[in-house]
Amino acid sequence: MAAPRTNVDEIRSRVILGEFGVRNVHTTEFPGNYPGYDDTWDMQKFQKNFRIDVVHLDESSMEFDMVGIDAAIANAFRRILLAEVPTMAIEKVFIYNNTSIVQDEVLAHRLGLIPIKADPRLFEYRNTVEESAEEEGSEIDTIQLQLKIKCSKNPRASKDSSDPRELYLNHMVYSKDIRWVPIGNQADVFADSSIGPVHDDILIAQLRPGQELDIIMHCVKGIGKDHAKFSPVATASYRLLPEITLLEPVEGEKKELWYAMCTSSHHHVAALIIIYFFAKVVNSRLDTCSREVLRHEDLKNVVKLGRVRDHFIFTVESTGILPPDVLVTEAIKVLMAKCQRFLSELDSAETV
Share of the chain above pLDDT 90, in %: 54
Among residues 280, 228, 271, 273, the alpha carbon closest in space to that of 251 is found at 280
Residue 120 domain flag:
yes
Asked if residue 104 and residue 68 are part of one domain, the reply reads no
pLDDT at 226: 94
Q: What's the distance, Cα to Cα, between the start and end of the chain in Å? A: 58
Asked if residue 155 and residue 65 are part of one domain, the reply reads no
In terms of residue numbers, what domain contains 59? 8-83+235-247+302-316
Residue 288 domain flag:
no
Asked if residue 105 and residue 225 are part of one domain, the reply reads yes
pLDDT tens digits for range 147-160? 999 999 999 888 88
> What is the rounded CA–CA span in Å between residue 249 and residue 258?
12
pLDDT at 131: 46
Segment 262-290 mean pLDDT: 55
Task: Report residue 277's pLDDT band, with 50, 70 and 90 as the boundaries.
Answer: very low
Radius of gyration, alpha carbons of the chain: 28
Domain count, the chain: 2
Asked if residue 96 and residue 72 are part of one domain, the reply reads no
Residue 240 domain flag:
yes
pLDDT at 265: 42
Q: What is the pTM of this model?
A: 0.83
Residue 115 domain flag:
yes
Segment 312-326 mean pLDDT: 95
Asked if residue 183 and residue 310 are part of one domain, the reply reads no
Asked if residue 47 and residue 157 are part of one domain, the reply reads no
114: domain CATH number is 2.170.120.12
pLDDT at 21: 86
Residue 284 domain flag:
no
Residue 350 domain flag:
no
17: domain CATH number is 3.30.1360.10
Asked if residue 145 and residue 75 are part of one domain, the reply reads no
pLDDT tens digits for range 201-234? 999 999 999 999 999 999 999 999 999 999 999 9
62 contacts 202 by C-beta, under 8 angstroms = no
Boundary-marking domain end, from 230, 255, 290: 230
pLDDT tens digits for range 90-102? 999 999 999 999 9
Residue 195 domain flag:
yes
Asked if residue 144 and residue 57 are part of one domain, the reply reads no
How many C-beta neighbours within 10 Å does residue 37 have?
13
**C-alpha dist (Å) from residue 287 to 86, 238, 260, 306:** 34, 14, 17, 11
Boundary-marking domain end, from 230, 258, 290: 230
